[in-house]
Each structure stands twice: as C-alpha cells, then as structure tokens.
Structure 1
Amino acid sequence: MPQTHNELDGPYQQLFEHLSLTLAPEQLMTSEAQTLAYGTDASFYRLIPQLVVKVNTLEQLQLVMASCANLQLPYTFRAAGTSLSGQAISDSVLILLSDDWRSHQILDNGNKISLQPGVIGADANRYLAPFQRKIGPDPASINACKIGGIAANNASGMCCGTAQNSYHTMASITLVLTDGTVLNTGDPQSVAAFKQSHASLLEQLSELAQTTQQNTALADKIRHKYRLKNTTGYSLNALVDFTDPFDILQHLMIGSEGTLAFIAELTYNTVVEHPHKASTLLVFENSDVACKAVEVLAKQAVAAVELMDGRALASVANQAGMPKFIADLDNQACALLVETRGSQADELSQLCQQVMDSLRNFPRVGEVAFTTKSSETAALWAIRKGMFPAVGAVRETGTTVIIEDVAFPVERLANGVNELQALFTKHGYHEAIIFGHALAGNLHFVFTQGFEDPDEVARYGRFMDEVSQLVAVKYQGSLKAEHGTGRNMAPFVELEWGAEGIALMQQIKQLFDPQGLLNPGVILNDDSQAHLANLKPMPAADDLVDKCIECGFCEPVCPSGSLSLSPRQRIVLYRELSELRRTGDKPLRLAELEKDFKYQGVDTCAAVGLCADRCPVGINTGDLVRKLREKHYAKHQNIARWTAEHFSSVATMTRLGLGTAELGHKILGDKALGAISKGITKVSAGKVPTWNPSFPRRAKYQPPQARFHKQKVVYIPSCASRTMAPPADAIDPRPLLEVTCSVLEKAGYEVLIPGNGDELCCGMPYHSKGMFDLASSKSQQLEDAIWQLSEHGRWPVLMDTSPCAKRSKEQFERDLDIHEPIGFIHQHALDKLEIAQLDEPVMLHLTCSSRRMDMHDPLLSIAKRCAKQAILPEHIYCCGWAGDKGFTTPELNQAALAPLKAQVPEGCTRGYSNSRTCEIGLSQHSGVVYQSILYLVDEVSL
C-alpha cells in the first residue's frame, strides 16, 4: 500500500524533498498515523515527530544527519524504544534503525563480540551461548531492547552490577559524530586519521580530564557516585578513570542517550556464562534485617541479590506457582532472592553452603531452599519478574505505570527503603512497591499515576521533588541508577551533581554537539518543570488492551512491524481513535486516522498472538483486531454461514480452482500464467490471489485403507492439506494425507480418519475474521467427531497442521489428547522408527502456533535426528501468512519473511514446517520448497 505523505512546514518540507532524492518513499514517514505511532516509547511522555526517517546504511545516516544540520533541525536516534525516561522520542526528526542494523561478529573465540546497534540483547547472548559467554549488561528488557539503547543508556540489570555494564566491558566503539566523521576506536588507521582531523577535540578532552582530576573534591565526588550504579547525566567517571583522550571519548558515549554522537557499532569484552546456577528465596521480618543480610552477602560469591518489599510480595502472592507462605506475610516483610553460579556442580554446592552459613544469625520468616532445578529456579525468578506487570495489571484505566530506579549507598539501603515507603504513604501511592538489585543499592519503585487531572500532575511533581531530595541530597545517591536520565530526571541533574558537575556536562555537550541538535531536552534541560511536560495520555479504548503500558516488549515477534504497525503502535492509534470518537472533536482528523488504521491496524495484523507471550500483562492485540474485524465481516455473515454448512462443497470448489491453475501452468508456463494472474488480481481489487510457482496443486482426498494395529491414532487432515497438494517442483509430490499415514504405519499405529472429513474444520478461518459463533459451531462439530472416533478420548489425536491443533486444544471441552505433527512425532513416534539420517542441510520453520505450544526444542530434536544439519533462521517468529493473509495481503508475508532467503545455505534444497499454508509463503520467499516435517520423517524412516 503506498505511503501517505502529509505536507510539512518550512524546513521540514525542504528536508523531506532533499531526502526523497536518495531514500525510498517507505523510508520517509509523515502521516499522522505513522508519526503518532512512533512518537511513543516505554516512558510516560509523548512527542510527535514532524518526520520519521528509517535508515538502512551508515551512508544514509550520515546523509540525514548532514541534512538536518544544514537546516538546523534537531534529531533523535531510536532503536527499540523500550526506554523508560523519554529519551527515544522527538517533536522534530526521529531517525529509526531498520532491520539492516543487526550484524554481529564473534571475536577471539567468544571473548569479544562486535555488535551493530540494532542487535537485540538476547540475540547477542544467543550468539555467544556456544562459547559459554554473554554480554555483561542484562537489563530486564533484554528480549526487546537493542545494543544501541543498552549502550546509550548504560543499562545494567539483575546480575550485571557496576563491573559488567557497557562502560566497563566495552572494548571499542564506532561512532558517527555530528560533522559526519566516522571513528572506530578499535581500528588503528581510523584512530590515526582522527588524531589529524580532530586534534583540537582530543586536546580539549585531555584538558577537561586533567582539570577534573586536579579538582580533588569533584574527583572524589565522581568516584563516590560511580561506586554506586549511576546513569544520571554524562559519564563523568571517564574524566577521572582515563588520561588517553580516545578512552575518555569512547567512555563518554556510554550513557549519553544519543546526545553526543551515533553509536554505529560496539565491541564488548564478554563475560562468563556459568553452566551451573542455584537460587534461593529468603524472607526476613523487615527491611532492616534484610538489608543487613545484604551487607553480609556482598562479601560472598553471589551473582545476584534481588530485594522485594512486603507490598511487592503481596502483589504476586496469589499468582500461580507462588510459595504458599507468601500470602501470609505482612507488609513489613522483606525478601531476598539470591543466585549463585559455578563452573562445576560441586563448586556450586559449596558456594550455596557458604552463603547459608554466612546468614545463620539472620532469622527468617519463610524461605525456599537453594535449588538447581531449572523449573524451580524459573518459578523463583518469576516472583521477581512478575512484580512490574502485577502493578500494571491492577492499575485504573487512564493511569500509567511509572517505574523509577534510584541507588543508595548499600550501608544506607534500609533507611532508603523505609523512607521511600513513608513517601509513598505521604503522597497517597498506596499501591507502590519496591524491588531492586540489592548488591548495588539499586531500588526500583513502581506506582500508578494519572495525568489527566492537574492536581494529579501536581501530586506527582511534589512526590518527585521529595524523592530527589531524599536520594540525591540526604543520602548522596543516584537519582537514575540504570534507566538513563532521559527527560524525567533532566531537571534534577544539577541537584545531584552540583554546579561544578553540571558545568562539566555542559562543556562536554558543547564539544560534541555545538549546534545543540542531538536529542535536545534529554540529560541536560534548563526547564525545571520539563518532567511535568508532554505527559502521555492513556485514554480508555477497550478492556482487551487498556492495561497496555506501551513498553514495546511485543515488537520483536510481530510479523507486521516492518510493514505497518507493531502491537504497541496499534494500541497507541486505537487509543487516539477512541478518544476522538468520545470527544467528537476534529472529525476530519478522525476520518483520516480511521482510514489509515483500517489497513495499518486491522488488515495487516496477523492476529496470531505472539505479542501476548512477550507482553508483561498478557495482552493479545490480535483479540482486539478480531473484534474489529467482526464489524467489517458482519455483512458477509450469510455467505460465511453457507460455507460453514456446506464445507465439503467449499473444499470441492477449492480443488477445482487449484486444478484450473495447475492446468493453466502446464499450458502457459510460469511467466505467462504469472502475468495473467497479476491482471486478474488487479481487476478483482486483490480478491483473487496472484499465482506464483509455490502455489499448491490440487490434492485428491482419498483416505487409505487402515491396517490393524494394537495402537491407534485419530488423524484429522486439515482443510488445507485435504485440498492442497505440494507444488509442482516439490521433492515429494505426494499429498500430506498419504505421507502422514505412511509415517504412522511405520510407527505401528492404526490410523482412524473421520468418514465425513471434508465437512470438518477447527473454525480458525471464521475465528480470524471475528465470526465467533460460526467458529464455535465448527469447532464443536469437530470435537464431537473426534470424541466418537477416539472412543471417548482413549486414543491420541493428530492434526497435521499446527494452528488447527492449537485452536482445538484451547476450544475443546472434553478430555482429548490433541497433537500437531512435531509434538506427536516427538512424543509418540520417533523412538518407534528406524531412521537413516539425511546427509544434507534442511531449513526449518517453527510456526507461531507451534511456538506458542513450546515446540521449539522438539522440532530441533526431530530435525537433528533426521538430517545432518538443521537451520532454524533467526528473526522470523511468524511467517505472516496468517490463515489467508498470504493470499489477500501478500505484502505481510513478504515483510515477515524478508530475512529468510539470505539465511538459506548454499546447496540447501529442502525446507520443513507443519502448516500447509505457511509453507506456500516460505517456499516463495526462500527459493526452497517447504513441506511438512512429516515428509522428512517419512523419507528417512526405513
């Protein structure tokens, strides 16, 4: 769909026209829907950019920076937008990184790793896992946040402390300065050239460091501040830790939040990822006792100590899997979650014993003993990780969740906890909870806040004034420990650092950004009320999504994010639409947004629910989209009802259509049929899909004669596999039904197939369009048939397409053992088959439904048993076919699979999955024919 371009004012229109000469139209976004969607990060602030620019290369970035400088237009860099302090938003030019910024290189046998800024933190650790290494920073958002943001905010985390953050583990950095110069501090030639071109800058940095080190009082204050976790202001410790100007320069960039330069690449010194871990939960009578225990634990070999106050424990007490005693604790209780790590099991056991011996004089009111079982440690850490979403889930509609992070000297931690709790009570934040990284004296406090009422804004202002005095003045702590200064602490930087400290920071800013164009208002801000301006509205929209806190954790797994909108952005726009409808204001603006949202929000949503698995409060944005589709498809109810009641006729017509296309292909060939098909698609306004060589042939639905075996299985061929045979160039041309029966026969199963199979459907095609009653009736019909055929649940049930199996497992009320191919083969058949491994690589695709059923490891297990090499490509969580979207909205499938083809190794000719429709798009966009995993299993089974 072509991008909408809104006319801009003055220099912004000049910028747009200039960039349009080089950049593709889809890289320049000016429509209100797009700028509003990208004017949102995880903070409680909102600014709407005039122009959003998506850059693919370093050269494009330099072009945009130079163009903005020529026109004196401020600009802001953005990676994942998970930042909590408003540092990834702009009311001017917002520069986004495309997916082309996620290259990596493993160095020195895993001891180092070079990462582009678009690499997600968890992916970096996945690359390092074979070497038993990881990057030092481990923020809670590591599954969504990107290296650019991790470095720019000096993010740390639960086990990182201060020793393993980006500042301390950086080996080298590549920067783009405001004048367009690229500096790679790890490249001697780049360093030598920079010495010549920027001698004055280097000299001034050396002078700043020398002056700072000679100011004993200031230098001591800086060292004290960075003994704690501290991300308030610039990294002034660079001026006392180093004398070499290049060391100073690169360390100033860490935590600079895009206000000094652009971080184009970062090379980390990696840290050990110990193979053996153990965790324990220790609950003390109050925070005084717990904090004294922290001082003792700080002297032990512990990897993490997480503190949780009584209110925090109460917020998760009733969740599944919580230890029963938590519900009986009072608000005075305080818990420590302790993790130890070791390279050997016996070493770990000794460490655990040492920890418990050190705490023998600290009585506990409850505990969970040290455990090394992964399921049990995961349950313990779920307590800690569930606290932020627990507050978000109970907040009133219209309010937002605010999470702040401060640091106290560890020896004053108990006082800090008690006085923060007193401030919560004083200002009426009775739901507020405290948890944090106790070894670093780092406390997070979470509370809910509304900004619609001026009195509420004033209350928040008074509260923050007192918090800043308590932390920065009374206890000389950090107002920002790991979330970055951003906008909400910028007015308090001078309070924490004093006149000399803020003067140093202003000099640093002037050295690197003399025009003041890089992310203005962030870190340094002369407006003492800036933290109370540009507050994000959170109007009620729908109960399904009102709990969204706009964190962006959902975005990495969304197949439409690079095409239209992510789940977070859909909710942002839907909230705006709901507010415009409620007020009745600006009808023209409402109409324009509704038009844009129809395509970007509704039509291009795959609605597969992967977002719910990543969402801290479990929101499935697909549920909202299906609800909206219900209204759109209401006019088609009669046709849909006829198809549901005559499903076998629909199957027959589908086979007829596929047969006609197959005949046309034989007569006309690829090129001619493709051209004719494109014309028909255009004339039909997209209702008739465009044929391509990956399209299926007509399948013949002929259930084979069952052979008697002691073990039986009910096999339900999906409507897709009943009608769609493999494409003409498939290695194995047999219909899936035949292949499945062959596998089951080899495994010793008698196959039971419903006699009225062509009438059966799980209801998914109707459910995805919001036709919930029809979907339920088809599901019920299928359940009844399976119940009878399985002898009331005696025999397992295999559905050959994963989405059908997942929906049936969720919808069926009777006790039936439902499987999709991966799960059934792994659990019931693999050990019964004699396998001769295929001596060639195979591509794999884990469908979104299988992913949500936790089939990742079973798929790899089957593939590695059957083939010499199995490749599960990265950055593809859903193929975007989404039922019939691949036919009706093919650009969604194309966008979702954009990273696929480049990951197919040379010589690979096979791909395997477990959804017939998904396999069409996978084949089209990879150059490899994908078929069901059952084809692979059957081929290698003797």
Structure 2
Amino acid sequence: MQPAYANLIEQLRLQIDEKRIITDPTLMLAYGTDASFYRLLPQMVLQLDTLDEVIFAIKACYEHQIPMTFRAAGTSLSGQAQSDSVLITLTRRWRDYKVLNDGAQIWLQPGIIGAEANTILAPFGRKIGPDPGSINSCKIGGIVANNASGMCCGTSQNSYRTIAGMTVVLADGTLLNTLDLNSITAFKKTHAAMIDELMLLVSECQANSVLADKIRHKYRLKNTTGYSLNALVDFDDPIDVLQHLFIGSEGTLGFIADVTYNTVINHQFKASGLFVFADIEQTCLAVSQLSKTRVAAVELMDNRSLASVAAKPGMPAFIAQLGADGNTEAAALLIELHAENEQDLLLQAEGIQQIINAFSPIEQVDFSRDATTCEQLWGIRKELFPAVGAVRESGTTVIIEDVAFPIAQLAPAVRDLQQLFVQFDYHEAIIFGHALAGNLHFVFTQSFDTQAEIERYSAFMDAVAELVAVEYQGSLKAEHGTGRNMAPFIELEWGYAGYQLMLAIKGVFDPRGVLNPGVIINADKQSHIKNLKAMPVADELIDKCVECGFCEPVCPSRNLSLTPRQRNTVYREISRLRRSNEDPQRLAAMEKTYRYYGLDTCAATGLCAERCPVGINTGDLVRKLRQNHTEKAKKIASWTADHFATVTASAKVGLTVASKMHKALGTNRMRKITQQAYQLSGHKIPQWTPHMPLPAAKIITPVISGITKERVVYFPSCAARNMGTEVNALDKRPLTEVTISLLEKAGYEVILPDDLNNQCCGMPYISKGFPETAQVKAQQLEQALWQASHQGQYPVLMDTSPCASTSKQSLRNDITIYEPFKFVADFVLPRLTITPQQEPVMLHITCTSRRQGLASVIERVTRACATEVIIPDDITCCGFAGDKGFTKPELNASALAPLKAQVPQGCHEGYSNSRTCEIGLSEHSGIEYRSILYLVDKVSY
C-alpha cells in the first residue's frame, strides 16, 4: 500500500470503526463491483455510518488529495460507481425518511430504495417522479446523482424537475442544506468566491445565445450527457443553480446526503394495450401523434425485440407468428394510460385508439384494466433484457446503451442504428425504449477478451456517437448517466463551448480533482475502452450473471458478508486463478476469505433468483460448492440418515440440558457461558438464546374414529417434533398439539405417517451439501406419505414452510402438499367462525413462501385473524437458514437488525410458518414469534 493511503487510514481510524475500513483484496474486488462493464479495484472501501463520518472522510481525502468515489446501489451502467482509490459506501443506517405536507413532499436519505419510497407514499396516492427500470434495487442517492428517469417519468418528472431541496457535502467537507436559510446564509459567507464563480458562469452562458439555445434544445430531449447545463439557463439564484447542477453530477461535485422531492400523483386508474404495426415508419409516426396527447408511457419494441421474446411463456400468440409471412419489419408500441377516474380513462382509451387506428395496426391487445393482462403485457417489455442476456455466450457481457433522438426523426434513426448492428456484426442486438421521449435503448453482447473484440466495440461506439450526436443532434446518454463510457464523447455532443463550460463547473466545485475522477470529465479519449471487465467462465449456474445487482436488496447477508452478485464476482476470479495458476498466493487468500464470506454466511434461500433478470440462483452454486466433503463426512451424514430417530432424540436431550442449565444459571450467566463455549468450540457448539425452545412433548397419535370424515395427513417437521415452545411462551402447547387441535376443530380426522421419528424431507442434508443422502430421506418420506395419504387421496399438511417447499420439489406430483397458510386459507377458514383479535401482530413471510408466490395468501390469512398486521420493511429472509441461526448467529442478527424498531407498542406476538425462523425472529424482535396455526386456533371456533 502506498504511504499516502496508509497515512489516510491512520487518520480515518480516529473516527471510523476499523471494521468498516476495508482493505482485504478479496472484499475490495467484491465491494468494488458494479453493473457496468468496467473493473477498477479500490485501494480501500469505507462503509460509513453517519453524516459526521462522511464529512470526516471527505475532509481527510481532500487533505491528502486522494480521490474518492461515492457508491449507492451500484446498479449504474456507465462506470460512474467504480474507483481505483477510495470507494465510499453507506451502511443500512442511511434509510430514514419523512413524509411532508400530506405526501406532497418526501424527505429521503440516499440509502432508501426507489420502490420503498413509493411504498411509503402509496397511502397518500403519491409517488416520486423518477421511475427507472431498476427502481426495485437502485437507491435514492444514485437516482438523483444520475438524474435517472424511466418509462413514465419523461423529462417533466425527473429529479431535476421535482427536486425541492437537498443537503450536500462539498469537496472540502462543507455542509449545505438548500432548504435551511441559516445554512444558506453561512455558506454564502464562507464560499462567496465559489458563488461568484458560479454566477459568472451563469452570466456567460445566458449571454451566449447560441450555447443557451443549444442547451434548451438538448434538454427538450432526455439528456444526461455531462453536467446539467440547463441549470445555468433555468435559474438565476446561486443555490438553485448549485442544487440542480448536483443532479446528474454522478458524485463528481460532492456528496448528496439527503433530498426532498415534490411528489407526483400515483393514478389509481390505469390501462395498458399492445399495438403492432407493419414497419418502423408507421410505428414512429404513431409515436409522433401520441406525443401530443397525455398518455403516460409509450414503449417501442423493434422487430428483433419481439422475435427475442416470441417463445417466452405468457406472450400473446401472434408475436410468434410475426414474420411468418416474410414481413420482418414489424414493430410494436406498449402504451399505458393513467387517469383520475374510470370515465376519464375510458374516454382517453377511446381517443388514443382512434389515433392508433389511423396507422393500421396489424395486431393488437386492446386497452385493459385487468391486472393480469397488464402484467403480461409489461412482461414482454421486461423480458427483453433477459432474452439477450440468457442466450449470450459464456465469457461475454451484456451492454445496454441509451440514446435519445428528436421524435420527428425516430424512424430513420432506428433504421440507421439497425444498419450499424449489421455493419459491426451485432446480430443479436435489439432496440426498445421510452418512445415519448425519443429515448431508445439498444442491447447487445460483447466480449472483451481479445484486442480485435475491443477494437470492434470501439469502432462501433465511434459510429454510434457520430450518428446520434452529430447527424441527429441527439443525446448520447438519455438516462443512464455519462460515467466513463461517454466521457470521451462529451465535446462531440456539446461542442467546444459546452465542454469548456463543463470543465469550468468541475473546477468550481472540485479544484483538486478528488471527486470521482475520470467520470464525466476525462481527458483520456480512450478511457471508454480501458479497465474493461472480464467475465471469465466459472460455473454454468452463474455464468449468465451480468452483475447488475438486482438481487442484492433481498439477500439476508447483504450487510454482513457478500451479496449474490459479489459471491459470483469473487468465484469467477477464483475460477480464473485456478485455471491460470498465475498467482497461487492470491488464490489461497481469496479461497480462505470466500469460505466465510461466500459460503458459510450464505443462507442459500434462492430469493436472488426471483430478482435476477436471467434467473440465477446463487444459492445453488453455494450448495454445490458445499458438496466438497471428505469421504468420512459423507459416511457420517449417511449414518445420521440411517439413525435419524436417534440423532433427533439427542437434540431433545441437548434442549433438556440447556433448559436445566438456564434454570440454574439464569439468563445473563447462561448467555455469557454459552457464548464462550461457542467461540472456544470453533462455532461447533450452537449459540444459545433465551428463546431457545424447550424439548417437545411426545406426540399423541390421533384416534381414527371410523366415522366418515374428511382426512388430512399431518407431517410434523423435525423441528416441530423436537422443539417445544420457549420458556415464557404465551401458549405452552407444542406446535404438534395445536395443529392437531385446529384440524380436528375444522372437522378433519388427522393421520400421522408411520415411523414418524425416522422421517425427514432431506432439507438439512441439501443445505449442507449432501444431495445423495437427502434423496434417500426424501424417498423414505415419499413412501410413508404415499401410504398415509391413501395413494395421494388425502392432502398432506407440513407445519414448516421450508419442509413443504423441499418436499414439493422432491416428491411425486400426486402427493398434494401444503404449508400452513395455504392449507388454512383453502381448508380451515371456510369451516370455522373467526373473530379477529384487536391486538396488533407482526408477520414474517418466509423466503420459501415468497418463492412459492404465497405472500398475498399469507397476508390475507393473517388479516382475517387480526385487525392490525405489521409486515416489517427491509426484511425478506430472516437469515436463520436451518441451523445457521445457531452456528452463524451473526447472519440472523444482521438480516433482522431492522426488526425490533418496527415492533409497535402494545404488540406482543408475531407469526410465521417456520419453527427455526421463529427462534431468530423472537430473539431479535423482543416478542414471541410462533406458527400462524396458534393464532388461527386462538381466534376460531
């Protein structure tokens, strides 16, 4: 490490916890990864907790003249979140918000995800203006710093147009709140020279009529190429100019600590329709007419786009037939309408349909308000990126460029872009985009592993830049930000005067050049083809990963170790090093780090696959890598499977011993002693908590009366058979007793499988990497359930969702398996009278339930039983992951860190459908969590 960085670290340690000053090479590779096709390795990564820490770090870097880059979610595509110096990230504490003026405004910290802001605003019928395609993953800090827009946002509702104020930190550490008069007054005194320089630029810009007119023209289009020069012609007040320059500045002018948005109406009445035209000319002529109306969104998809998704499930049948008659020119418009009431929506749809009819659509799906139909139509648009990403060759990456043309020239522009694809052999490339703003995205695959491929890409981008910026006077970046990708082309688009103005802006805010150097302003005209990201083959399970980061918000280990994107990145590098044998020492260090950060702390929930554009389940890779066992370990696993009843009985013994020790020692001494034992045993002795269950009582087999009743097979999970309630349980009955009681109350005769204590779904063996042993247990269970269910005639209830999920995947289809919520919804609630309780309850939706699409069912059942149900924010998986809550309790603690603060006063109970998850939920919430079956039994008769 260079002396300057070592000195910086010494200074940073004065105020920042050393654990959040990351210098491990493996972690810097992981944490330095973003969604772009560039790769820079930071010298250090800072995870900052407070505004004071941010100011301190910025001042320290400024003093040492060491460059720094700010990172939000890292979903940006143009290289603006990369650093080869100091990368500054934020901890989960940057997620505060305040709804203001009955939802007309909202104050947000930069760590809030865009979709979360809209969820907060939903009760007020409002939303934030920007609606980027990555809104479920990208954060407010990145949305503002990139001036992200989206499908419905256009140029009228982006951050530039809807900002009310912000708090920023300048390069020298100065804090400015543009909504605080005291802050503004102080700033004007301490930074009078900066304000004078800024206002001089405003005067010069407004006096240059040619440049001012060009600026106005460029921002009638979507434009994020370079700085927001429109701030210099739109405003005369220096604070207004400053805060609007910060929008789209990509961290090159300072740090955005919070923003206040003017929100926009979130219309409740919406309709969508799909319209296919014979060729791109007719399609774009329709766009021109639609741009004069008040349609909310118009998404254009060229013929290649439609062909790429033709075989996908759920697509309208006619898409596969397009081109069958030899016409390969068809293009489509996906149109969405918004209105304040149903009548207005109907009138709007009729008017738009008349406009569309004038251009003779060859196929169409009429405007519909049906949620399923609308979801299917927008599914076409959302499938376009995966369609390219999923079929690309291993070792290549997917590149998404976005440009904007004047709408009147959209048709010839599309033609010319398509011709460039042919000229440079990008035959898989597709074009789609936000047509109302003339904003087109084109997606293609690219390898950077040979000089010839790099030169092909370079020549292609030169041609694209000339076409867009010169021939059509359009925008080279419409909404994805300039980054490193378009920095060499800013002068081509803006001309000498515009580029000089941008250089001057950078000089006013960052005279030492320490803020995200190389981004937006870059003297190297080849910077866009340097530091390119290699995508080495690693494993077919993850080779399609494009490192977009969409998976990260649902990963339970995201604030502890690595996310799925980061796990994939590091494993790719490990695989490359193993093949090349170029640096055995680095490989050994990386493998050691990866063992804990990549494997041991992965919950392997598979939620990442639900968010991944190409369906990658990094948990599958982790389970595969865990299979690297010794023969001795495999024999031990096999022995435990053969003697399962004995093994589980020993677990009961352990719970009995723990209970007696707790009584003798008390909670505080018990916790201290068991923590020491956990550490001294190398984490082999499970971590004890006060919510550790007592041993379960023996299950009393229900009596089959012989009276003709409906029957159900009840399979108590291993956890339910062995774990009773916690010491201070609200209801002391074990889960098995409650389940049988509820089923009998609903009029069922309950059948238990034979040889119950030896049965297991196999999930514990799967998670630990013993698939063969898991299969043996699954087959044994299948035989027992087949017999108990009378060859599949009776449904099977499993009281724990992970067991039910595993069994559905591994057992024969004609055994119908239910987890508790779905069974209650379908078979119990209709048979009982429910009196919902008034006391509030917490609800946790397990990861397996989410993956099975049961979230709405779970919420519906709980709301039928309690008048107030709280589903906590920022928690998807609890991270207990079978027994990891005992052996890696830090994973459970990290995943549930936001939980306790969200438990309202007067709430004493929480519900879920996984016994082990409930242990961790109880530990980190301060209230008892238990199976939903307890609540249903309590409120029913």
Q: Give the TM-score category using the shorter length.
A: over 0.9
2:680 maps to 683
| 1:507-518 pair list within 5 angstroms | 507-518=504-515
Contact 2:688 2:886 in 1 (8 A): no
Q: Does 1:80 align with 2:97?
A: no
1:764 maps to 763
Q: Deviations over 1:688-712 (max 9, x none)?
A: 1122211111002313424656222
Give, as a single letter, the amino acid of the residue that structure 2 aligns with 1:823.
K
1:700 maps to 697
2:356 maps to 359
Quote how far apart the aligned CAs of 1:61 are.
0.2
Contact 1:703 1:753 in 2 (8 A): no
How far apart are the structure 1 equivalents of 2:216 and 2:568?
44
1:669 maps to 666
Change (3 A) 1:633 1:375: farther
Percent sequence identity over aligned pairs: 58
- Which stretch shifts more, 834-843 or 577-586? 834-843
Q: 2:175 aligns with which of 168, 179, 182?
A: 182
- Tell me the secondary structure at the aligned position of residue 630 of structure 1: coil
Contact 2:701 2:752 in 1 (8 A): no
Q: Does 1:284 align with 2:277?
A: yes
Q: Does 1:421 align with 2:418?
A: yes
2:867 maps to 868
- Tell me the secondary structure at the aligned position of residue 614 of structure 2: coil
1:132 maps to 125
How far apart are the structure 1 equivalents of 2:112 and 2:332?
35
1:828 maps to 827
Alignment: residue pair count = 935
Q: 1:346 aligns with which of 319, 343, 366?
A: 343
Contact 2:687 2:887 in 1 (8 A): no
| 1:379-528 pair list within 5 angstroms | 379-528=376-525
- Which stretch shifts more, 509-518 or 674-683? 674-683
How far apart are the structure 2 equivalents of 1:500 and 1:143?
38
Give, as a single letter, the amino acid of the residue that structure 2 aligns with 1:935.
Y
How far apart are the structure 2 equivalents of 1:382 and 1:26?
43
- Tell me the secondary structure at the aligned position of residue 466 of structure 1: helix
- Which stretch shifts more, 582-591 or 358-367? 358-367
1:623 maps to 620
Give, as a single letter, the amino acid of the residue that structure 1 aligns with 2:717.
S
1:221 maps to 214
- Tell me the secondary structure at the aligned position of residue 838 of structure 1: coil
- Tell me the secondary structure at the aligned position of residue 627 of structure 2: helix
Give, as a single letter, the amino acid of the residue that structure 2 aligns with 1:816.
I
Give, as a single letter, the amino acid of the residue that structure 2 aligns with 1:779.
A
- Tell me the secondary structure at the aligned position of residue 381 of structure 1: helix
Give, as a single letter, the amino acid of the residue that structure 2 aligns with 1:111.
A
Q: Does 1:270 align with 2:260?
A: no
How far apart are the structure 1 equivalents of 2:697 and 2:299?
60
- Which stretch shifts more, 202-211 or 546-555? 202-211
How far apart are the structure 2 equivalents of 1:361 and 1:691?
72
How far apart are the structure 1 equivalents of 2:117 and 2:604?
28
- Tell me the secondary structure at the aligned position of residue 930 of structure 1: strand
Q: Deviations over 1:585-642 (max 9, x none)?
A: 1111111111111111111111010000000000000000011000036541111111
How far apart are the structure 1 equivalents of 2:708 and 2:239?
75
How far apart are the structure 1 equivalents of 2:70 and 2:388?
30
How far apart are the structure 1 equivalents of 2:542 and 2:315?
26
Q: Does 1:913 align with 2:923?
A: no
- Tell me the secondary structure at the aligned position of residue 440 of structure 2: strand
TM-score (norm 2): 0.98
Q: Deviations over 1:401-423 (max 9, x none)?
A: 00000000000000110000000
- Which stretch shifts more, 828-837 or 764-773? 828-837
In the alignment, structure 1 segments of 5+ residues that lack a partner are 1-7
Give, as a single letter, the amino acid of the residue that structure 1 aligns with 2:57.
V
Quote how far apart the aligned CAs of 1:39 are.
1.9
2:927 maps to 928
1:207 maps to 200
- Which stretch shifts more, 330-339 or 67-76? 330-339
Q: Does 1:718 align with 2:717?
A: yes
2:297 maps to 304
- Which stretch shifts more, 69-78 or 673-682? 673-682
How far apart are the structure 1 equivalents of 2:335 and 2:905?
47
Contact 1:709 1:750 in 2 (8 A): no
Q: Deviations over 1:185-216 (max 9, x none)?
A: 11222222222222222232222212211211
Give, as a single letter, the amino acid of the residue that structure 2 aligns with 1:771.
F
Contact 2:820 2:933 in 1 (8 A): yes
- Which stretch shifts more, 911-920 or 818-827? 818-827
How far apart are the structure 2 equivalents of 1:398 and 1:325?
34
Contact 2:754 2:788 in 1 (8 A): no
How far apart are the structure 1 equivalents of 2:396 and 2:85?
27
Give, as a single letter, the amino acid of the residue that structure 2 aligns with 1:48.
L
1:839 maps to 838
Quote how far apart the aligned CAs of 1:300 are.
2.2
Contact 2:702 2:751 in 1 (8 A): no
How far apart are the structure 2 equivalents of 1:362 and 1:816?
53
2:45 maps to 52
Quote how far apart the aligned CAs of 1:671 are.
2.5
Give, as a single letter, the amino acid of the residue that structure 2 aligns with 1:651.
T
How far apart are the structure 1 equivalents of 2:513 and 2:668?
56
Give, as a single letter, the amino acid of the residue that structure 1 aligns with 2:884.
K
Quote how far apart the aligned CAs of 1:815 are.
2.0
- Tell me the secondary structure at the aligned position of residue 629 of structure 2: helix
Q: Deviations over 1:804-839 (max 9, x none)?
A: 111112222232322111111122212322223222
How far apart are the structure 1 equivalents of 2:709 and 2:184?
74
Q: Deviations over 1:500-531 (max 9, x none)?
A: 00111111111111111000000010100000
Q: Deviations over 1:108-166 (max 9, x none)?
A: 11111111000000000000111111111010100000000000000000111110100
Contact 1:633 1:771 in 2 (8 A): no
Q: Does 1:101 align with 2:98?
A: no
- Tell me the secondary structure at the aligned position of residue 600 of structure 1: helix
